[in-house]
Structure 1
Amino acid sequence: MANKDYYSILGVSRDAGKDEIKSAFRKKARELHPDVNKAPDATEQFKELGQAYEVLMDDEKRALYDRYGEDGLKNAGYDFNGPFGTGFGDLSEILSSFFGGGFGFGGFGRTAQDPNAPRRGSDLRLDLQLEFEEAVFGIEKDVEISHLETCDRCAGKGSE
């Protein structure tokens, strides 16, 4: 399979800045969203657009892509065979931040999000030192992560 040209998918030059990439993504996302575009390959084009945006907006991924192409990303562990690729968790969440919610759920940005719906938390990042053999052959390690919990008695209001 040939490497995809993420710059041409978004319609930007190789030296495009993040603002230009974001603007191009917004425009193309409106054109290619499967709720609007009924072409048979619209869903696939929309996924490719998401992949291109994800890679070009992330400095580390973009540097890998610029240097080694799509194969370089795959060799570095970024697998885009999932619904919207690694790290692209919830496409509707990304689109909601641009277009105001409701993306992909029965309309083109016209429905309001439920204010009582649980919100997605921040991503956690853990820097972990591994020996070479551990990285090559794999290892299981226990890690402790501190987090806040809501008190059952006062529901997090601090009255207990």
Structure 2
Amino acid sequence: MSKTLILYFSKTGTTKRVAEAVASRLNADIYSIEEEDTYSHQDLDWTLASSRANKEQKDSKCRPAYKGKLPDLSGYHTVIIGHPIWWGIPPRILYTVLEDLDLSHKKVAAFATSGGSTYSVSQDEIKNIIGPQDIEGRVLSGQNAVDKWLTESGLL
């Protein structure tokens, strides 16, 4: 078993592609977080004020359910979390997942995909959920960015 696990959430495939690149580079295991109630195209349409994603992201207490059982982390030293940035922060389903995991004795890193956001607010949100540990996070957009982040963060 690999000592690194990539946990990621992706709806358009962008975060999935980056997660796969990170996993390949690190020879890490990978786990896709799936929502219990599948998002439709309309649910994800940020231009509709009434879209499900808009409502979820605006509600700080919202915790959408995930499908299945999360992986056992006992065999992993490092957990890398991948997600898109929605409305400046991780999707609310990530909060559900992180609140259900014990990451207290793990090295945690995180990456996001985004069309324009930086990672600082998302990183703060993740730190608020998992506690006061160092988290190396960055927005990634391609293999060069992946390689640079993995090297600079000491993950490679």
Mark yes or no: TM-score above 0.5. no
Larger radius of gyration: 1
Greater share of helix? 1
TM normalised by structure 1 equals 0.25
TM normalised by structure 2 equals 0.25
